[in-house]
Structure 1
């Protein structure tokens, strides 16, 4: 199946946000009008051919911290380019300052800068059974607050597109929502962006279905699964537990495209013969620098994607690890050796 590449100048939603400060948000992110640590080598020895594929970024001076930046996780400096946060309004298609030079100088508007791939690295990748991976990392324990997805080509490892929405809870009072968002996103300084852009989960799914449909990954037919694509999550929680729970709260039927997924922890365990408790462990062991803020969903999704790119370059074959029965909702785990 052919699928056109999306350029950085496209009007599509291409980007993953990093971090931004409240002061900078107030100065440069007008709301839209409507409303890296040494680590032991893995037992599965590899030469890590894609080190140059992952740009190492530099933190801002302490006098000018961008919102959401976690200083102890900030990547090391590089001569390639200075790091700058990604516009969180832009990732959702709502940036109104694309003609403002000062805004463009301060904020990143291209995910291609954070997820490049060397051709030599891609040449070492093994054939995959799927054509596309949709990396997903939800945020929100009570209700889903953030739904970020990064789409990459399973063969070339290249970034194709992204989908990002902040999600407004439907089963909470406005006071509880305010407290919930302050506790979750206040520490990153992106609570304002959340309030400006969040929409109910049902609307998020409708927009997401238009997005995957536009990429010819899914057709709106009952029981239809993704077309030669699969979600990749860092654990089973996102699709085994949280999405079904949210669908119940939002009074929605669980969509058919959520019936199977890839738990990257299981792939990591079987490929490297080493257990990883999460994304941070994987990145530390693979010596991949962290970009952005841990637990800001769009940044975590970006970093998980970097792990996926590295594993593909190392020769991993990434395949479905879990499948839900559409009638009984029972989940079958397909790997005997898996993280429990």
Structure 2
């Protein structure tokens, strides 16, 4: 269902596993996002979480290079004072969020960064619609570790605060689910997934920017192992319908079924 492809590898003379051939990716670039948010150890689970760190890294799927980064600390409005647990977990200090900007400004700055890399690298986010009008267009998709970042955290905070969220953030690749299907095992967190593949986590865990960079490293390793990245989550029903139409060939119904559908439509229009 995730559209994953596994390909065999061979062992080179120096003992390292190398790919026989590199499978063509659906996306030329991936943008990895890993938010950090307000959190509490216990007793306050009913509190709504707010984003306090907004990072994104741009990964080139042809060479594994991170070509651009975006990073901002975000000022929480509903619960502006960070809990001691949150500071210890994320390493984010109170003065960093105090000097940050509200989420709406962060989203605006993020959109400007997106526009910049679109101009510089001819990136598009909807190949079916835009690729014909942009010569040598490079397709791009978002990646997160689970659906929480874009499907829960950003989605509900924007709803609560009545903020407009960029439409391009309505679909993404859940790398955790992709990893689970591709390698046929459940990862024990991002660090556990990296360790399983012989990769040492670089930086500080639960730092949004470091997590994003390490998720990019994991995605590149999976690509090298033969995983073809594919969108796993759609919040926009129009995008979902379009995807299903692309993936599923149209089968002409039998004549009797056509007659039945015409009768049903006629009855519906007269009611």
- Please tell me the TM-score bracket, short chain as reference: 0.5 to 0.7
Contact 2:76–2:97 at 8 Å: present in 1 too? Answer: no
Which residue of structure 2 aligns with residue 22 of structure 1? Answer: none
Counterpart among 34, 43, 49 of residue 137 in structure 1: 34
Which residue of structure 2 aligns with residue 148 of structure 1? Answer: 55
How far apart are the structure 2 equivalents of 1:298 and 1:325?
27
Which residue of structure 2 aligns with residue 244 of structure 1? Answer: 155
How far apart are the structure 1 equivalents of 2:96 and 2:105?
15
Shift of 1:179: 3.5
Matches of residues 83-94 of structure 1 in structure 2 within 5 Å? Answer: none
TM-score normalised by length of structure 1:
0.54
Could you tell me which runs of 5 or more consecutive residues in structure 2 were left unpaired when the two chains were aligned. 1-5, 40-48, 131-137, 245-271
Which residue of structure 1 aligns with residue 109 of structure 2? Answer: 207
How far apart are the structure 1 equivalents of 2:8 and 2:21?
15
Superposed CA offset, 1:98-139 (max 9, x none): xxxxxxxxxxxxxxxxxxxxxx97995321011110011111
1:170 aligns with 2:73: no
Which residue of structure 2 aligns with residue 159 of structure 1? Answer: 66
TM-score normalised by length of structure 2:
0.67
Could you tell me which runs of 5 or more consecutive residues in structure 1 were left unpaired when the two chains were aligned. 1-42, 50-119, 334-340
Q: Which of the pair has more CA radius of gyration?
A: 2
After TM superposition, where is structure 1 displaced by more than 3 Å over at least 4 residues in a row? 43-49, 120-125, 186-190, 326-330
Contact 2:57–2:212 at 8 Å: present in 1 too? Answer: yes
Which residue of structure 1 aligns with residue 236 of structure 2? Answer: 325
The alignment yields a C-alpha RMSD, in angstroms, of 3.5
Counterpart among 13, 20, 24 of residue 127 in structure 1: 24
Q: When you count strand as a share of all residues, which structure comes out higher?
A: 2
Shift of 1:183: 3.3
How far apart are the structure 2 equivalents of 1:270 and 1:188?
29
How far apart are the structure 2 equivalents of 1:195 and 1:322?
30
With over 3 angstroms needed to count, the CA separation of the structure-2 counterparts of 1:316 and 1:189, relative to structure 1, is closer
How far apart are the structure 2 equivalents of 1:317 and 1:288?
20
How far apart are the structure 2 equivalents of 1:122 and 1:165?
37
Q: When you count helix as a share of all residues, which structure comes out higher?
A: 2
Contact 1:265–1:277 at 8 Å: present in 2 too? Answer: no
1:232 aligns with 2:146: no
Shift of 1:270: 2.3
How far apart are the structure 2 equivalents of 1:134 and 1:239?
13
1:179 aligns with 2:82: yes
Contact 1:233–1:263 at 8 Å: present in 2 too? Answer: yes
